[in-house]
Amino acid sequence: MDANELLAWARGSGFDIALTIFVAGMLLRLLEVLALGNKPDLSAPRGSGPKGGVQTLLSRNLPRKAVFDREPLRIINGYVLHIGFFIVLFLYGPHIVLFESFLGFGWPGLPSGVIDAVGAITILSLIAALVFRLNNKVIRFISTKDDYVAWAVTLLPLLTGYLTYNHLVASYTMMLALHLLSVELLLVVAPFTKLTHMFSFAMARWYQGYQAGRRGVES
Amino acid sequence: MSAPSVEKGIQAIKGQIDAPVASFFSACVHCGLCAEACLFYTETGDPKYTPINKVEPMRRIWEREYTLFGKAKAALGLSKEVDADTFAEWETLVYDGCTLCGRCSLVCPVGNDISGMIRKIREGFAAAGYAPEGLIGASTRAVEIGSPMGVKLPAVQAQIKHLQKNTGLDVPIDAKGAEYLVLLSSMEIMNFPEYLEAIARIMHQAGKSWTIASKAFEATNSGIQIGVSDIAKLLVSRVVDAADELGVKTVISPECGHAFTAIRWDGANLIGRPYGFEVKHILEVLDEFVKKGLIKTEGMEDAKLTYHDPCQIARKGGVVEQPRNLLNRIASNFVEMEDAGEMNWCCGGGGGVSANERADELKLTAFNRKKAQLEALGVDTLVTACANCRLTLEEGLEENNMDIPIVGLTEMLAEYLVEDDKEQA
């Protein structure tokens, strides 16, 4: 299989298979959570559960001062990593074209030079995250293989994307094929790792926020 | 209760796993920030106290039992089992190294209620037979005698007699149709009789009818702390039955943190039905009395003082403004600790830790956080609203040769109460 054939497979069947596994896998994981159910709270409410749920969905986007003061670098790096990833994924012209082919609508992107720089920053941020993971005694202690797998499959699309755009390492066609394959790897692996947090974070925040809202306590 | 076993422990943990718990495990990214909020980690520097690590046995059971991927991993022998060794290893993390203070739950970026899960996992440890002796003793006494400290009704009656002699005020027992049912914690009966006297004076001044129930004077609930819902339910039922029998409108939870959690939030869920009465913390009631003009205060405490927020009352109970409203009325030099209110640091003795002698040394290490907070302020007096916090703080201060008197907020308010001896309306 030469580079052109590999690219054709990655664009065709490869992508379809990966996307199917991603969607089915994520749905399964989320249904597994919901299927466990949640008993109604019989205590007399002091406030509104739904209001608390929405509030916590939003409030946890910002860190509390009490932990930010202790770990500012880790927290800032978390923002850089997530925001960088979103910018590269959703605001790069060719990516938008791909989304448009699925969704039927597009949106304005950023100049590719900016995306290139953001991609590089995001890669550095992921490397920093690994350095934290290996050097901070708490994170090292609680890390599992899953954490390193999730890290690697997140890094690969960023790295191959960066190399493709900058015409590095291999031919453009080969790099683009590898980039697509790395995205497919991410899609296939995500539902079976902590990357499920891309959806389940909303459920977790909602559940805690709902209870807190009902009780009229901070969340 | 039937004999505990590892199998029962695993079943009990399985029974505690619901959609919220599953969402928490699915959302955790192992960022480790929960450790930075936990005084057992910050004060020991030992990463095993990372809150999310304390529920690792529950995560393993969730993955194996409730996820397809986890079942496949287990079938291939790729996952760690939960066995007797796991329970033995985690027992001290779950009971000694956590006060259920809930600080971790407030800082988790994905919104995991980690301390809620630690409360749940204790059900499994108790069922498996891996619970601390101190808590087993307290729970047994609570069930058999009626109080975790073994306090019986005659002790309460003796205190009442003394109080009546001192103040001439009546302390009604089993008064049907009273508006308020006042609960006490054993510690208030044994160590801080000032509380009941303050209540008697305040209720008299406010012109409110109240009572103590002979069958349910005790508010504390060891079942919540050890993690045995059956015991927790039995203890809550005593209060609910008494409140129903006497027909009170409101049950007042005393200056005790976990008692408030037990009766205010967990109780109705334990007995499986909503209450026919309201439950309020004493500070909520006092704040109401002041706002409605039912009681007035005169004079101010001039000593520099601060308020220690009991975790279950502030962070988990939502009673944050009330103590501040009250203190600002009676203290001219009230200063706040850093992180006061919802994010205040635990005293180190909550969640059953103070009843668990095995954890004494760790508790004192954890106290270093509070010590640093108090030293930073340089206060003359410390005010709080939980008898358990109060005893833990007293012990910590004594151990560190710090001479700071601790007072309960209710008794302090009573000191500045305007008493005009008006007749009850």
Backbone phi and psi for residue B231, each to the nearest 5 degrees, phi listed first: -70, -45
B64 Cβ contact list (under 8 Å, min separation 6)? B70, B71, B73, B74, B79, B81
Please report the pLDDT score of residue B189 as a whole number. 87
Number of domains in chain A: 1
pTM: 0.95
Q: Is the pLDDT of residue B406 over 90?
A: yes
Is there a domain that residue A29 lies in? no
Give me the mean pLDDT over the B273-286 stretch.
98
Q: Are the C-beta atoms of A3 and A174 separated by less than 8 Å?
A: yes
Q: For chains A and B, what is the number of CB pairs under 8 angstroms?
A: 170
* pLDDT per position as a tens digit, B34-82: 999 999 999 999 999 999 999 999 999 999 999 999 999 999 999 999 9
Q: Is the pLDDT of residue B425 over 50?
A: no
Instruction: Look up the ipTM and state it.
Output: 0.96
Report percent pLDDT > 70 for chain A.
Answer: 100
> Cα(A96)–Cα(A105) distance, rounded to whole angstroms?
9
Backbone phi and psi for residue B334, each to the nearest 5 degrees, phi listed first: -90, 120
Q: Is the pLDDT of residue B423 over 60?
A: no
Q: Is the pLDDT of residue A202 over 60?
A: yes
Please report the pLDDT score of residue B190 as a whole number. 85
Q: Are the C-beta atoms of B128 and A78 separated by less than 8 Å?
A: no
Q: Is the pLDDT of residue B11 over 80?
A: yes
Using the beta-carbon criterion (under 8 Å), do B343 and A33 form an inter-chain contact? no
Distance from CA of B211 to the nearest CA of A (A): 22
- Whether B305-415 and B146-291 are alike in CATH topology: the answer is yes
> Cα(B415)–Cα(B422) distance, rounded to whole angstroms?
18
Q: Are the C-beta atoms of B30 and B39 separated by less than 8 Å?
A: no
Give whole-number Cα distances, A76 to A111, B247, B365, B370, in Å: 25, 56, 31, 28
Give me the mean pLDDT over the B146-169 stretch.
91
User: Judged by CB atoms within 8 Å, which residues 4-33 of B form the interface with A?
Assistant: 17-24, 26-33
Closest residue in B to A77 (Cα) is B31
Q: What is the mean pLDDT of chain B?
A: 95
* pLDDT per position as a tens digit, B171-185: 999 999 999 999 999
Please report the pLDDT score of residue B421 as a whole number. 63
For chain B, which residues make up each domain, given as ranges? 6-131, 146-291, 305-415
Q: Is A143 on the interface with B (CB under 8 A)?
A: yes
Q: Is B281 on the interface with A (CB under 8 A)?
A: no
Query: What DSSP line would sit under A99-144, residue for residue?
Result: HHHHHS-----B-HHHHHHHHHHHHHHHHHHHHHHHHSHHHHHH--
Tokens 């069922």 map to which residue? B127
* pLDDT per position as a tens digit, A4-62: 999 999 999 999 999 999 999 999 999 999 999 999 999 999 999 999 999 999 999 99
> Cα(A149)–Cα(A135) distance, rounded to whole angstroms?
18
User: Judged by CB atoms within 8 Å, which residues 146-175 of A form the interface with B?
Assistant: 147
> Could you tell me the residue range of the domain that residue A157 belongs to?
3-7+64-215
User: Judged by CB atoms within 8 Å, which residues 90-119 of A form the interface with B?
Assistant: none
> Cα(B342)–Cα(B337) distance, rounded to whole angstroms?
12
Report percent pLDDT > 90 for chain B.
Answer: 94
Q: Which CATH topology does B6-131 take?
A: Fumarate Reductase Iron-sulfur Protein; Chain B, domain 2 (1.10.1060)
Domain B146-291 architecture:
3-Layer(aba) Sandwich (3.40)
CATH number of B305-415: 3.40.50
Among B31, B264, B275, B321, most A C-beta atoms within 10 A, so best to mutate, is B31
Q: Is the pLDDT of residue B321 over 50?
A: yes
Contacts of A44 in chain B (CB under 8 A): 268, 274-275, 278-279
Is there a domain that residue A93 lies in? yes
CA-based nearest residue to B259, from B122, B391, B121, B387: B387
CA-based nearest residue to B20, from B130, B108, B125, B131: B108
Please report the pLDDT score of residue B422 as a whole number. 46
Q: Is the pLDDT of residue B250 over 80?
A: yes
Please report the pLDDT score of residue B1 as a whole number. 53
Using the beta-carbon criterion (under 8 Å), do A204 and B275 form an inter-chain contact? no
Give whole-number Cα distances, B240 to A28, A75, B139, B143, B236, in Å: 42, 46, 19, 15, 6
Residue B187 tokens read as 């510690």
Q: What is the mean pLDDT of chain A?
A: 96
Using the beta-carbon criterion (under 8 Å), do B272 and A42 form an inter-chain contact? yes
Q: Is A207 on the interface with B (CB under 8 A)?
A: yes
Banded pLDDT at B424 (limits 50, 70, 90): very low
Which residues on adjacent β-strands are paired with residue B182? B252
Q: Is B251 on the interface with A (CB under 8 A)?
A: no
Is there a domain that residue A13 lies in? no
Q: Is A44 on the interface with B (CB under 8 A)?
A: yes
Banded pLDDT at A164 (limits 50, 70, 90): very high
Banded pLDDT at B191 (limits 50, 70, 90): confident
Give me the mean pLDDT over the B120-147 stretch.
95
Give me the mean pLDDT over the A137-160 stretch.
97
Q: Are the C-beta atoms of B203 and B179 separated by less than 8 Å?
A: no
Q: Is A54 on the interface with B (CB under 8 A)?
A: no
Is there a domain that residue A44 lies in? no
